[in-house]
Amino acid sequence: MSINVALDGPSGAGKSTIAKMAAAGLGFVYVDTGAMYRTIAYYCIKEGADVSDAQAVKAALANIDISLKNEGTQQVFLNGENVSDLIRTPEISMGASKVSAIPEVRAFLLDLQKDIAANNDIIMDGRDIGTVVLPDAQVKIFLTASAEERANRRFKELQEKGDPSTYEEVLADINQRDYNDIHRDIAPLRQAEDAVLVDSSSLTLEQTAEEIMRIINEKTAKKKERKVRELMPVRPISKSRRYNPVKLVFYTILRYIVMGLYHIYYDIHFEGTENVPKDGGNVFASNHRSYQDPVFIAIHTRTPLSYMAKEELFKQNVLFTALIKFFGAFPVSRGKGDTAVIDTSIEKLEMGRNLVIFPEGTRSKDGKVGAGKTGVALVAAVAQTRIVPVGIVFEGSLKFRRRVTVRYGTPLTPAEIGVTGTDPRSLKKLKLKIMEDITNLVEKDVNKL
């Protein structure tokens, strides 16, 4: 069961900033519901719809698609456009207060909010989270501060962004929005009966975040006392074993021959080659476009690669099986919980070879990156070794002189993002980071096609 934290409070109390800090400190997902209402207000204002006209706003909902990307910093997308910065103005704030009073708007967003909460440990902030959206949240907090202090904070924030609003305008906006939120007919702003009151008027951001985390830890202590279920023991590879130097010479010669042939046959381009480690024992995590992907990745790796391949490929003719084994492939039983393949992967890394894993598990026909599976995170977490994200991009199918771009991203280690075990939450966190990096590498080129 996931842990849900409902953080309510008036406008300008610092809910978003504090929730982000606390979520990062606890390893929770941060959900800014206010940004969702702001996004609807932004769309209506941009399209010339009156946010005070409920019918006009309801009509606009059919054309609105809101999505959140949240791996550290929440980004808000409106119909595919990142509007995270565009929705943070006084005009949009007032618009959000008005559209949030419309029942159809609240219903429009409620399912999305509940779905996120059901599947993640979250801190969700807003006006009615503890009273309406998550009435069964394990932790409810009502964060407030004086109107003057809230106005002062918001004024400084807007100044840093170059907004021309005066302090008096910001204070008037705060007071007006408080009145609107408290007196609206639908889900008015109020403190839930079982919520803990936190007044941050005399506290710094850091002090407030620490108090919020203290309350959450205290309220969820019993759950946290349960032993974390580790899927496999961590056994960091030593990286002291070097690949056979004689075999390495042969591999290097073969690699340069293949490099030349591939440059002749394909219009192939490599980016970020400076990110490729010179040693072995690293995991290369890549999107999957074709059976040529292991070769594309290997062209700029100085140490031989091993890679997982579906077991069906090893049941074909003897020559083909011998060939893929020679080039480092080993079988994996997809969808059967094949834990032995993890042990094999660690053995390959200990031998000084690099390991290629395609987290999506199957090839993408349209070039879009899928959700990815947890196997790559499990291998990396057990071995506690570097992960190099890779993006492979080409249009259509592979043909003679087809342009192919192979991009190596910045390496990361599980420890760098706080993953030192193999419990499900840690593995999910690592997998999301890996898939985010792969997607960023791919989408940069997809947009050029």
- The answer to whether residues 182 and 275 belong to one domain is no
Residue 297 confidence (pLDDT): 96
- Best CA proximity match to 129, nearest among 212, 41, 213, 33: 33
Q: Does 432 fall in a domain? A: yes
Classify the phi-psi angles of 131: left when phi > 0, otherwise alpha if psi is within -120 to 50, otherwise beta.
alpha
- From start to end of 266-386, where are the E strands? 267-271, 283-286, 305-310, 329-332, 354-357
Domain containing residue 162: CATH number: 3.40.50.300
Q: Does 159 fall in a domain? A: yes
Residue 380 confidence (pLDDT): 95
Q: Does 229 fall in a domain? A: no
- The answer to whether residues 138 and 211 belong to one domain is yes
- The answer to whether residues 218 and 250 belong to one domain is no
Number of folded domains in the chain?
Answer: 2
Distances (CA, A) of 149 to 25, 435, 438: 25, 41, 43
- From start to end of 153-239, where are the E strands? 196-199
Element (H, E) at 295: helix 293-298
- The answer to whether residues 252 and 287 belong to one domain is yes
Distances (CA, A) of 49 to 10, 88, 383, 445: 26, 19, 55, 36
Q: How far is CA 424 from the centre of its chain?
A: 15
- Domain span at residue 9? 4-224
**Which residues in the chain come in under a pLDDT of 50?**
225-227, 335-337, 446-449
- The answer to whether residues 347 and 255 belong to one domain is yes
CB count, 10 Å around CB of 33?
A: 25
The answer to whether 373 touches 359, Cβ cutoff 8 Å, is yes
Q: Residue 194 burial by CB count (10 A; 0-12/13-18/19+): exposed, middle or buried?
A: exposed
- The answer to whether residues 189 and 266 belong to one domain is no
- Best CA proximity match to 287, nearest among 228, 234, 363, 342: 363
Q: Does 235 fall in a domain? A: no
User: According to the 3-state scheme, what is the secondary structure of 47-59?
Assistant: CCCCCCCHHHHHH
- The answer to whether residues 215 and 255 belong to one domain is no
- The answer to whether residues 212 and 261 belong to one domain is no
- The answer to whether residues 299 and 170 belong to one domain is no
- The answer to whether residues 330 and 376 belong to one domain is yes
Residue 400 confidence (pLDDT): 94
Q: Does 213 fall in a domain? A: yes
Distance CA 185, CA 245 (A): 76
Entry pTM: 0.52
Q: Does 36 fall in a domain? A: yes
Residue 403 confidence (pLDDT): 95
Q: Does 231 fall in a domain? A: no
Residue 58 confidence (pLDDT): 94
pLDDT tens, residue by residue, 226-240: 445 677 889 999 877
Final residue in a domain of this structure, among 175, 190, 224: 224
Name the DSSP letter for residue 282. Answer: -
Residue 448 confidence (pLDDT): 45
- The answer to whether residues 165 and 260 belong to one domain is no
Q: Does 232 fall in a domain? A: no
- The answer to whether residues 271 and 146 belong to one domain is no
Domain containing residue 273: CATH number: 3.40.1130.10
Distance CA 354, CA 348 (A): 7
